[in-house]
Amino acid sequence: MSKQPEKLNLSSLDVVSEKLSLMKDFFPEFFNESSLNIESLQNFISGTTESKRERYGMSWVGKNNCLKVIQTQSIGTLKPNKDESVNFDASQNVYIEGDNLEALKLLQKSYYGRIKTIYIDPPYNTGNEFIYPDDFSESLDTYLKYSGQTDTTGKKFSTNTEGDGRFHSKWLNMMYPRLYLGRNLLKEDGVIFISIDDHEADNLRKLCNEIFGEDNFIAQFVWQKKYSRDNRPLVGTVHEYILAYAKNIAFFSEVRNLLPPSEESLKVYKNPNNDPKGRWRPVPMTAQAGHATASQFYEVVTPSGAVHKPPTGRCWAVSESKYKELLSQGRIYFGKDNSAQPNVIRYLSEVEGFVPWTWLPSTEVGHTDSAMKDYYSLMGKDLAFETPKPIKLIRHFLDISLSKTEDEIALDFFAGTSTTAHAILEKNVEEGRSHKFILVQLPQPIEFETPIEQKNIKTISDLGKERIRRAISELERSEGGKKLSREFWNKVGFRSFKLDSSNFKIWNADGLKDEASLENQLSFQVENVQNDSTQESILFEILIKSGFQLSEVIEEKKILGKRVFSISDGALLICLEEEITKELINEIAKLEPIQFICLDSAFHGNDQLKANAVQTFSNKESESDKSSQTSFRTV
């Protein structure tokens, strides 16, 4: 038995190793020792011994480097910011300010396979918008320079212009790793919705076919974003697209929701005869005759005496016996004069919902003008922003995908002005639910047309957080909000985090350039905690790198005068005090946590005390069921 505690891995999930491990479980015959034999696997799948042949696929400049970006683990962290949050301790919503690539890497351990819905509205690559850097070595350091955290001037990212020879490649290099990592986070029945326009719709479709699989394509929705003509030189563009892909379409098809009827669709249900069963509509009683049976061809005699047979190429939609049954129930309508072809009466009360259509008219899901009006009514014109999406549009996709019985998580890692968060909050208030959101947004600087008093709003992420705060206040004052309990509202809010460098001085072999740098790296083994790190910042870094979610309920205990954080009802205990004693170890062991984590530096080089701690937890394990063993780790 080891006399030293296990060291916590401070890197994000190794995505490649994780997937290779899964492949080895299913296909051990294609591994030579620990390496995958690609040629052997290809020959098995194709049933041929050819090692090189032409094949259908998508390629662009920089694609191979995208794979390197995915494989590079993040050693950053997400530091809590309670001052910018609302109901931090009770809320399970999360807002992350930072580069979404690094954030997605950090979310892998905690949220792998746990997200139900992803909606993103990425840059459309129009040639004049902000674009993420075309830097294949982009990393936490790249982000920190951009945001000014390591450089007073900050690193400026340029726009992507068509004059650049790699216009489309740059955009694909930005999107590929983010979509790849996003897919990892989806549940098996999860789904992603991606807004896009004509500039990259074709490339995005091919990209998603590769990442999600062509068989998991659901639909390419067409959203009518404008309702009036404009004076474009060639053809006026009044639509955008929303691509939808499932993680596994077989699972998604089992759980996807029917949509509630819209006001427009309800107009056809009337009650001209004061039917006691309520509003109804006539549905023609014919169908295509391709697969009809003999029982679907018969004469129908109307109350006026008119005789009808199915039109050429058609049949009756129901058998003769079923028709007679419906007739006896008063469910057949023959028109105002009782002589028209038969129609089946369908009552509004029988309508459970509608299958979503790919056409999304502005009358049902809003348009750009309505989006701006909603935004201005909440934020005011001083905080103008050009391209928010309508809340109704996002609600449409949330209504399709989020469970009607379980509270689930939605993710938006191009959050913009936080329309997704607003839509989820609105949905929760209307339905009395507690669906959760995770939003990620780069702190891209913005300049408003007119001077504003809110000088603290300098970036899009500032704007997004402010919108969530105002949306919560507005919804709480609404008629629906007033009906909900104080207990409900005490949990409504969000936890704000900022991407930053690790709280720990992490070994960096790439930085060993001379004797001085080696000496500096070796000093990390003595005191590895950054000087400005707080216990709360260290706590959340440990949580996310141990596989716990950022929304975990955290209880603070006092044990022998020391702060101890309890997570999952004591399953994980964390002590981040600068000194650990034998007595404290004994008291914590009595609580029988599944995991206990503390600072390695808290032992102050006392290896005997550390070995005794390992022995204490080991002895505790032997006294009880092995299933409740305590894992003792240090950082």
Q: Quick check: 397 pLDDT over 60?
A: yes
Lowest mean pLDDT among 21-25, 111-115, 420-424, 533-537: 21-25
Q: What is the pLDDT averaged over residues 438-456?
A: 78
- What single-letter amino acid sits at 115? I
Report the share of the chain in percent with pLDDT over 70: 84
- Specify whether the CB–CB gap between 194 and 183 falls below 8 A: no
pLDDT tens digits along 8-55: 888 888 887 777 777 776 666 567 666 777 776 776 666 555 555 666
- Specify whether the CB–CB gap between 374 and 82 falls below 8 A: no
Could you tell me the two tokens for 216? 């998991």
DSSP 138-151: --HHHHHHHTTSS-
At residue 136, the pLDDT reads: 40
Q: Comparing 259 with 484, which gets the higher pLDDT?
A: 484
pLDDT interval class at 247 (50, 70, 90): very high
DSSP 480-532: HHHTS-HHHHTT-SBEEEEEE--SB----GGG--SHHHHHHHHHTTT--B-TT
- Specify whether the CB–CB gap between 635 and 544 falls below 8 A: no
Q: What is the pLDDT averaged over residues 617-625?
A: 62
**What CA–CA distance (Å, rounded) separates 372 from 291?**
50
- Specify whether the CB–CB gap between 546 and 595 falls below 8 A: yes
Lowest mean pLDDT among 78-92, 395-409, 478-492, 608-622: 608-622
pLDDT tens digits along 116-130: 999 999 998 877 665
Q: What is the pLDDT averaged over residues 411-437?
A: 97
At residue 134, the pLDDT reads: 45
- What single-letter amino acid sits at 536? E
At residue 622, the pLDDT reads: 47
Q: What is the pLDDT averaged over residues 429-454?
A: 85
Virtual torsion, Cα 165, 169, 170, 173, nearest 10 deg = -160
Q: Comparing 154 with 127, which gets the higher pLDDT?
A: 127
Among 266, 250, 259, which Cα is nearest to 360's? 259
**Burial letters 482-511, b for 16+ CB under 10 A, else e:** eebeeebbeebbbbbbbbbbbbbbeeeeee
- What single-letter amino acid sits at 195? S
pLDDT tens digits along 289-319: 988 999 999 999 999 999 999 999 999 999 9
Q: Quick check: 339 pLDDT over 60?
A: yes
Encode 342-385 in three state secondary structure: CEEEEEHHHCCCECCCCEECHHHHCCHHHHHHHHHHHHCHHHCC
Q: Comparing 629 with 93, which gets the higher pLDDT?
A: 93
pLDDT tens digits along 477-520: 999 999 999 999 999 999 999 999 999 987 655 555 555 655 55
**What CA–CA distance (Å, rounded) separates 119 from 411?**
6
Predicted TM-score (pTM) above 0.75: yes
Residue 63 in 3-state DSSP?
helix
pLDDT tens digits along 209-231: 999 999 999 999 999 999 877 66
For the chain, the average pLDDT equals 87
Domains and CATH numbers, the chain: 14-71 (no CATH), 77-134+162-260+355-500 (3.40.50.150), 274-350 (no CATH), 509-634 (no CATH)
Q: What is the pLDDT averaged over residues 582-597?
A: 95
Q: Quick check: 203 pLDDT over 80?
A: yes
CB-based contacts of 77, cutoff 8 Å, min separation 6: 106, 499, 500, 501, 502, 503, 537, 540, 541, 544, 545
